Structure 1
Amino acid sequence: MNKASYGIMALAVLAVCCFAFATGFESDATIDHDGDTDVFKISTTETFKINYVLDEADADKTLKFNAKVVNRAGETMANAVSPSTGTLTSGEDYTITVTVPANPAKYTLVVEYLVDSEKKSEDKFAFTAVKPIVLTVNLKADDVTLNLEDFGVYFYIDGEKMEDSYKTITMKSNGTGSVSYDWIADPVGEHRFCVKAVGDSGLITGLDEEHIFYAEDNDYSLVTALAFIVLILLLIYAVRVYRKPVKNFGKPKSRR
């Protein structure tokens, strides 16, 4: 092997070492939600874990964070994060609680990280606040003498089993009952759902029957903006009409 080959190998090893060193101490910020969804019910609370890893040069410095929730216009939602500021330990999870705004719309959780009061990084988590879609099915036992106490059912939406929809039902003495499920989703358009029993529940009218429903857009921010624009235009029109001079045609001439 000639000297040129040794030189190339040495450079390759040096490059790998430098890459490993750089990636091993690179600053890293994360936001993790306790769940696998970014669609939340309005006026509820959600838990997040934030984490930031200091690089080696900043290892002995103070690490703090500021957190807020903003709407699509960039406006900060009041009292939406608790705590909204605090001190972190590098590499350790820190839990914050987000209060989902009451207005259905799209929002973003923004967390900025400061090292000795200097902003070093920023991380974001986009989510949608929605009103739940309430699905209800009325059930009736074909035979009221059947023992139908606390039998379980699941809701299926568009053919998919909703794992959090499990309900237990006790039919009334006349063999009737109902079951409801709050679907937390942001699905615009037509959908189908049904209720299926867990195991054998006898002959019950209402189970496995498909129902169709339509979901509208939960984001009212655009509608609100358009309504505001229309209001401004109406005010401008009203002012122009009010200030428009009235022509004076004079007094009518009297007849002789």
Structure 2
Amino acid sequence: MLAIPVFRARVAPVLDWCSKIIIIPKEGTDAASGLKLDVIKGSIFSLMRGLREQGISTLICGALSPEMLNYGESIGLRIIHGIAGEIDEVLQAYQEGRLDMPQYRLPGCSGQRRYKGGARCTCKGKNGIAGRKEPGGVGTGPGRKVAGRPVRESEAGPGYKECNMSKIAITSEGPSLDDLVDPRFGRAAGFVVVDLESMETRYIDNGRTQVMAQGAGIQAAELVAGAGVGCVLSGYVGPKAFRALSAAKIKVVQNLEEGMTVRQAVELFQTEGVQFANGPNREAGR
């Protein structure tokens, strides 16, 4: 049997963060016949141990820490990591021995990888996250990927310039990945900044804007620009804030769903591809 951590029908980009996992009972079985389980928050080592106890022999996943990789292998799990893509396609590629093809590689990780016909990969990414490297650079034009998400054709036309997408900021009601996304940009409680290569996070408090009569959006834009982010994810962004972010060459993703956590926003950015905003979605003074 094999297991694959899942996020919205794709391989979850980071095993440590996964909330669901699908169990494939035997070779030749499609994903629709698999058993999807919720992952109870707690020790990911306990999850690995539980999978092994249930007879899981192979784990296909995205990035994971070296400690988890070593632990999983020490208890007999065969781990194929650094994988990205739709669950059905990844499963079929695994069964046909094609997981070494470029379209199944998880971008944003460095290191050599060896996989053929089911052999495990042995790569190691930056800052301790195991993963895979996109060979030959990120490429150009539609279909290329930046920090784990595809660039749309509208972004890849003549004169398209590479944006620094290795670091993003998400408006948040609190400092953790499991806090809810704050729908406001300018008056958000704060920003969770995520380094997509190392998956390290830090929190920027935005409390000063709560008492500002005006200029909150510009102040918030200065905060995230100072953090060196390439993209901001939020619910609503006003015109002044949008102009300030654009001036700093920071892309904007807005209209995030109500009730989404910061963790889910990061996974959405990495796995599904997002549409960059062309303008603000909130009027001035609202």
Q: One fold, TM greater than 0.5? A: no
- TM-score, structure 1 length as denominator? 0.25
The structure with the greater share of residues assigned to helix is: 2
The structure with the greater share of residues assigned to strand is: 1
